[in-house]
Amino acid sequence: MQPLVVMRAVWLTLVLAACTAAPGEELDEGGSSDGKGDRAGGSRFDEVDPGHSTVTFRTYIGKALDLLAEHDTELATLTLRSIESGLVKIDELRDLTCADFERVRADLPDAGLVPADRATLHERGSDVAEAIENELDGYMWSNRIYVSRGQPALRLAATLVHEVNHVINRSEVGYYDDLPTSAFIHEYRSFYAESLFDPEEYAGVDLVDYVITNYELDRSKIKASVLATPLTPRLLPDARAWRARRVGADVEVLPPACR
């Protein structure tokens, strides 16, 4: 596999320059969260389903947040602020909402899941939870991020960087605009952000090939211009990105099984 070419590094510099917040700007998405309403036990983050919160899970996420705090980069700092300010909500895959479970079912057709399976997610040794976690380290919809259990703290922190990038780019919408090109754009950008946080994980990896292979995308159908210059804004979850994102304006459309 080939290392990332210099052109991508140059493009990254341009993206960072375009996205960086001005001095003094604070993360604010128009008051959609005060960072307190969905927290349990003094947690540093909001959960999708605080009714299922546990000390174990809060500690698990907390270790990843500590690594983000220790990482002396703007990307890590802004990702941490996005989480601690409540602009995104974090939970485990076992706490998928009904609508998000249905979306995961659609994305994992080979798992053979049915709507009634959601009721078994919290059972000890749940085969359904295991099937989902075997396929997904992280998943997002709107500003909801779900992560699998058992990830090392560094990889979990990188997963959070990846998924927050999806949130600020509203990947649940743009991902499907022009397949496979649109899917490639959204995944490449999030993996690029992840690789900036945890470069050793992707040392010597050609991210173009990595994304195409792992997501089983047809290279011949991805626009040549995108393959040549795959990195597009927004890379940093800064104040400008959140104001443009407007999570509070998201409209939830419930799948038939959840109505």
Average pLDDT estimate for 221-227: 98
Please report the pLDDT score of residue 20 as a whole number: 41
The residue that leads in pLDDT, 193 or 23, is 193
Q: Please, what is the average pLDDT of the chain?
A: 88
Q: What would the DSSP string read from start to end of 44-82?
A: SSB-S-GGG--HHHHHHHHHHHHHHHHS-SHHHHHHHHH
- pLDDT-based confidence at residue 41 (cuts at 50, 70, 90): low
Query: pLDDT tens, 97-125?
Result: 999 999 999 999 999 999 999 999 999 99
Please report, rounded to a whole number, the percentage of residues in the chain having pLDDT higher than 90: 83
Average pLDDT estimate for 197-221: 97
Please report the pLDDT score of residue 2 as a whole number: 32
> Residue 164: CB partners within 8 Å, gap ≥ 6?
79, 82, 83, 88, 145, 237
Please report the pLDDT score of residue 121 as a whole number: 97
Q: Please report the beta strands in 136-193, taking only residues with DSSP state E, as ranges in sequence order.
A: 138-141, 144-147
Please report the pLDDT score of residue 168 as a whole number: 98
- pLDDT-based confidence at residue 43 (cuts at 50, 70, 90): confident
Please report the pLDDT score of residue 202 as a whole number: 97
Go through 155-177 and write b for each residue having 16 or more CB atoms within 10 A of its CB, e for each that does not: bbbbbbbbbbbbbbbbbbeebee
Please report, rounded to a whole number, the percentage of residues in the chain having pLDDT higher than 70: 84
What are the domain boundaries of the chain? 6-17+35-235
Query: pLDDT tens, 118-166?
Result: 999 999 999 999 999 999 999 999 999 999 999 999 999 999 999 999 9
- Residue 46 bridge partners (DSSP): 89
- Window from 33-37, 48-52, 79-83 with minimum mean pLDDT: 33-37
Please report the pLDDT score of residue 6 as a whole number: 30
- pLDDT-based confidence at residue 28 (cuts at 50, 70, 90): low
Average pLDDT estimate for 55-71: 97
Angle among Cα 216, 217, 222 to the nearest 5 degrees reads 170
Q: Is the pLDDT of residue 243 over 90?
A: yes
